[in-house]
Chain A
């Protein structure tokens, strides 16, 4: 039976980056302010659960991933892992047990594989640095297991290869194998397939879903692609300018969206057989505003086709709109 207790809980989590005001600003005593990359989010991930975090570029997705994996420090709120508050833990050795349990697959890891390291060394690196193996035989066994888990078969064929001797999809699987080798309980995968061909994409998704099914691993899957989120995730959380504007089951978000921003994302998604009933709302104009200048009231109001007076003054709270379905919009009741 699957243990469904939460493995991760974010409570009002914030990551504000200070803006380094220039000399000029300091002389004039101007406030230097902050980039509010993550601006108070509440989210839980259950053991064995796949949650997709969706939003435009600049909405704060990567920063959420970095703070969960302790590559960025929260400036407010709590990060609880397996019931324990990790918000203020710092430093390599106190964090070592945490890094064994939580791994991140990076957005740009595809290019970031060290070209001079073999596949074996790339996958062995976290096992060595986290001291998870006692001898070479164990190391080889764990690396083989991880490569197989990521669909690189037979693993021995890949040990001595360098990244340039692999196809794009194989390279991405090496990155995944590096995260798997550690046998984490939670993986944060940042746009792991967005640059890949659809055919390879499906192979990688299958690997991630198998890990959940076989090892009850939890996954935070970061993407801007809603149909992809719908395909892989149990729940979807929609992020806009550092705040979650809607959370619900993958089906609720896809078939019954209750926030105008979610609707805009769905409308913008190209679709096969595509002239379905679209265009209920006009297409979104412009881009996500800078996180250094978060609009007053509802942060989506400057781009929202349904905005009215109240939206420009007061920030809407998270409203319950159904079972485990939340929307932060004045119109969602």
Chain B
């Protein structure tokens, strides 16, 4: 299967990006050499356990890294042009208008004392220079776009359910007409019915506005229905990247396989609880070599010493010595 987005020009290029967090004089590498390309209208999922670096990747792209973060390597390009992601002032005109973010747990971050229409109108005035009347009209238009009747705009956040508040957050993210939306766990706190409604909305907005979507989640089953491609992160690195169909039908990386196996799936009838052995990685002392080696059922000697590189494999990419040795053999004999 080929990816229909492959021949389009890249919208966003993330090239060997590393971000460190400074903590009491120490520095902690949160993401390590992350590279990928996103094309217009494409939906890509970023999947990984807590602490694997998903949010850090998103914040770096959006130019919203926290003050103790440092971009220590790599670049991010938007439509071919390098973004000044580590320069707060230079980044200002780019923020929210190219890439915009629906934050993790953001629906609880709405200001409780302002009506929602006012909160959506605010960025339109600040970023687009609209008058109050224009911004209010735009805010109402955005509410309708996310499926909230415009007259509900007079409501305060506490008068809305979690699902409605998440729609408001999406409306705010769309205010400056970005071409990339990053959803950071946009449905994790919601029940299944509301989750399905929000994912459907994101899908509709995506085709209606030709948005590219980066969906961050720790729940692989969510991506099956709404993304074209999945990138699996582990301990700050991308370990596998492929189309949704490929990843589910034929996962290459041992971590991806274990992740898929740990999701209960009545469709295959296998009622077995399969935990991934060991503890999630900690960044303070990231294991040498392949960071997954202490938990990997297929680990070999080389895995403890050498970091496997993320190499092209079939239609996608994989970072695992099992597959690298295979590929090397192929090249040796060729």
Chain A contacts to B: CB under 8 angstroms:
56-58, 167-169, 195, 197-203, 205-206, 209, 224-228, 230-232, 254-255, 264-265, 267-274, 276, 283-284, 287
Contact = CB atoms under 8 A, between A and B. Distances in A.
A116 B177 CA distance: 46
Interface string B71-102: 00000000000000000000000000000000
Contacts, number: 121
Interface residues of B, number: 44
Contacts of A209: 273
B193 interface: yes
B258 interface: yes
Nearest to B295: A199
Given A199-B262, A287-B161, A205 B280 contact: no
Contacts of A273: 224, 248-249, 265, 267-268
B273 A265 contact: no
Given A57-B194, A265-B192, A270 B273 contact: no
Interface in B240-291: 248-249, 258-260, 262-268, 271, 273-276, 279-280, 282
Contacts of A197: 49-50, 218, 280
A324 B154 CA distance: 49
A224 B191 contact: yes
A265 B193 CA distance: 7
Q: Which 7 A-B pairs have the closest CB atoms?
A: A202-B275, A231-B264, A268-B196, A199-B276, A224-B191, A227-B264, A203-B275
A291 B258 CA distance: 41
A255 B200 CA distance: 25
Contacts of B188: 195
Contacts of B279: 167, 169
A231 B273 contact: yes
A205 B274 CA distance: 10
B6 interface: no
Given A199-B49, A199-B280, A225-B192, A230 B220 contact: no
Nearest to A58: B161
B119 interface: no
Contacts of B192: 56, 224-226, 265, 268-269
B24 to A, nearest CB: 15
Mostly helix, strand, loop or mixed at chain A's interface?
Answer: helix
Nearest to B164: A287
Contacts of A57: 161-162, 190-191, 194
B163 interface: yes
A209 B271 CA distance: 12
Nearest to B275: A202
A215 to B, nearest CB: 18
B296 interface: no
Interface string B135-161: 000000000000000000000000001
B55 to A, nearest CB: 14
Given A56-B191, A198-B218, A287-B194, A270 B224 contact: yes
A56 B193 contact: yes
B166 to A, nearest CB: 12
Contacts of A276: 267
A283 B220 CA distance: 21
A185 to B, nearest CB: 23
Nearest to B187: A270
